[in-house]
Amino acid sequence: MLTLETRPDRIHRYSYLVLAALCAIALVVALASGQLGWRTLVVAVGGVIAGVVGWGRLHERLVIADDGLTSRSLWTTHVRWDQVGSYRLRDTTDYWTPTELFELVLWPFVLLFRYLVYFPIRWLVRWLLVRRAEDRHFLDAELVLLDAAGKKLVAISGADRHDNVAEAVERIVAHIHARPLPPFAITDRKDHPIDLGTIAELEIGTEDTTIVTTGGARTIATSALPNPYLVIAAVRARGGRVTVAGDVFLPQALRATLA
């Protein structure tokens, strides 16, 4: 399989460097005019932080090859495929919800802003800046690779806005599935084990997944479901019913089997 290399889109590659340059210009003007103070210090610190982040973004790469996955930025992380013990899919949306009485009073206004302003603007910006529909679908997702002991090796986040990230995720999953994964356990919210062979129905949502077995229906956090794509394929192979929420990212090859 040919090596695939992805990097952040142009705005994410250069925006922090532009911000660092603007901070540098503001700092030079402040020093030339003798206007020193806490504001100048804030600008200087902000410029340094933006410069460091921007330098990392400029050199950020995700490389998928036959020998493993390499993530490059300010530092480099290389993961061999035989190091991967399991993977998780996590939804990264984190919308504010009310928890106190005062917040409940504000809730109707928050909903109006969210659905009339925030969501339309977010959709437009994403449609304009992210060219591929599959890449847009991964913007609110994160693929986390773990070793056999459950320690995180690397995380691929849609928020990093890598070009062609959907194909990268498909290749990563394909490489992982090509090797025999170590045995993994599925447990519900009460830590009760669920035998993969007993699953008759699987309903995967962004937050929760419902698993129906001969013993009844149980729920698990979707982000805690190990190897979700492998589980989907296994349930489908035995004739089980699988439904996946439309905003859950699926590789195209797997999505085609559910159509």
Q: How many helices (H) and strands (E) does the chain have?
A: 8, 13
| Model pLDDT for residues 40-80, shown as the tens digit of each residue | 888 899 999 999 999 999 999 999 999 999 999 989 999 99
Whether pLDDT at 256 is above 80 = no
Task: Note the pLDDT tens digit of each residue in 14-31.
Answer: 999 999 999 999 999 888
**Lowest model confidence (mean pLDDT) among 165-179, 209-223, 224-238, 243-257:** 243-257
Question: The pTM is what?
Answer: 0.85
Average pLDDT value over all residues in the chain: 89
- Please classify residue 95 by burial: count the beta carbons closer than 10 Å to its beta carbon, then call 0-12 exposed, 13-18 middle and 19+ buried: exposed
* Distance of alpha carbon 85 from alpha carbon 150, whole angstroms: 7
CA distance 136 to 147: 28
DSSP code for 185: -
Q: Which position has the higher pLDDT, 99 or 236? A: 236
- With beta carbons less than 8 A apart as the criterion, state whether 210 and 219 touch: yes
Give the model's pLDDT for residue 173: 94
Which CATH entry fits the domain spanning 186-258: 1.20.90, 3.30.310, 3.40.50, 3.30.720?
Answer: 3.30.720
Each domain of the chain, given as residue ranges in start order, spans 4-72, 79-177, 186-258
Q: Where do the H-state alpha helices sit in the chain?
A: 10-33, 38-58, 101-113, 119-129, 133-137, 165-177, 228-237, 252-258
Question: According to the model, what pLDDT value does residue 17 have?
Answer: 94
Lowest mean pLDDT: which of 42-56, 142-156, 186-200? 186-200
Q: Is the per-residue pLDDT at 259 higher than 70? A: no
Contact 9, 129 (CB under 8 A): yes
pLDDT-based confidence at residue 32 (cuts at 50, 70, 90): confident
pLDDT tens-digit series, residues 129-144: 888 888 998 999 999 9
